[in-house]
Structure 1
């Protein structure tokens, strides 16, 4: 059994309830997503403390940068467990979140995974892990349905530019299975082996009607988009990014109008309620720009854990046992957890799902294309 080391453990601030937080803040992690996630986590902690904390005790984030690295994420959970935190929250990247979830399960530490969507977050069912983000299969099937309706009859040959990763492999499998049952075809193109120009040639040869970017950002996603946009043979090919790369301002800054008209998934309702509107304004002030859905996921995650800590105390087992009983008004709707087949964790079923793109006439504006 893995046991957390307690050597060189700094003392906790007097009276504070310390909450572990996993966030990708350096490359190769998606840094902008990490900043949005941290903004949501931090804002929620401040609001909890303004309202009296956890039974009069301040809540404090103990932040660890995962850099999207599974080993760093697992090591961070071990360290945080040694610090005595009652729970760990956060993470954006599925590969890092999967490693964190496995370590949390082994150590008996509650882990509320804020943003990672990989269905199989753990190899076996666990009582220690919960998630407010929708499972990948749920969101990506909605995305596949959008593609079928958007492309029209007879244009369902979909190419995916992909890289080696459990997350991208799972996404490819979800798309292939869902589209095949509806007459669609998925063709895999290795974005690691093919230069952007060669990938364009492959798209022409395959007769693809759409190219989905199942790749890292900005490399190789940005060069691929530039190459496809600049190839006259591919003028009618739809570029899509179900993982949400175009959500963030870095995408628009690097690609400009070339990055518009690229549908992606985000997990927000069509209209935010009063709580979501108020939190959104505060997040915008903190970030200096419109908050992404990832920032709302961070806020919601802390709201859930704060409620659990207030009502069930800081004992780890008590927090975990309360997953199925918690009910919290989140920024995107009421959050409750249940067991969903295929996930192995306590799951909010479901956060709202949208397919969105950047308006070609105004790349700074997002358009809702489809909801599910």
Structure 2
């Protein structure tokens, strides 16, 4: 396929940039989108160009960066950009941009594009906390969401000057992931988890042999972080219990609890799962731990290496199900993950079916692992099994897309039994 044909086939994204300090982060969003194969045209506001020059956007996108509807009039850009786009993203979206979009104003190229777009629209706010919490801004967000526009939740952290609070632009990588999801899900992101509290576990536990070494696994935590990210964007209050994932950026609007070992993870989950509407266990929990952990580093010596005796770790998923059944834990839907390799006698899916029965959870995501699959990669695939016997294959795609499928299944469980916590 020629470069010209690939360019024509690439998803077409309009990246709007409004005039806030966070405009410089739009360059990272732009690079992330172009490097993942998207044809991106930047539509900055005049105020945005006071923070980042047009030449930067043009160099990174390979297209002119226009602001005015009177630029290149014969091409009718104020209509064509929106008509031809597969996705429109505005990052950052200031309070002023949200107000103009909510009220249908079209006084520059970006707002005109928003009025002509027939594709998913993602607005990523960034502003001071007081502006985000003002009743006018909250009303504008509600209006936009009622029209099907995806308005992301801003992050919390350092703002301009010495100020901190909610209103920070989410990490550019998170914006790129959400953009990819919306391109794969043109119907947009439902707010079907609003009012729900969900708990997600992520990462891989590590069991210390000594102060230096540990028994662990290859889980990166990316799938769990994707689950937390999608749940937050679908309106949920999210608690993320993460094991050894310090290299990952915490999704905007998510409460994080860090753990290290399987027993630490168990303790945290039993605490935060009580009263939760759903728990999704995507963490890879070590099955065994050393019976003893050496106080000092085990030295390399001549002769036979030391023997390491192992004890079995708690079955965290099984315990959650058991405590719910006994009434000691008020938890709604419980979902687990199963990483399987299969063998000559039993397939990955068959092992998954057996594990679903053995664990007794409501949903189980079965992943085939090994040979560069599932662990330490950006994409995932597998099967989604329900205790009712329903099975859905999940085709290969981003971990964010698989996360969306999991929350679809959880939402179906909510619809079938609105409150299972009693």
TM-score if structure 2 supplies the norm length?
Answer: 0.25
Q: With a CA cutoff of 8 Å and minimum separation of 6, indicate the structure with the bigger relative contact order.
A: 1
Q: Which has the larger radius of gyration?
A: 2
- Larger fraction in strand: 2
Q: TM-score, normalised by structure 1?
A: 0.28
Q: Which structure has greater helix proportion?
A: 1
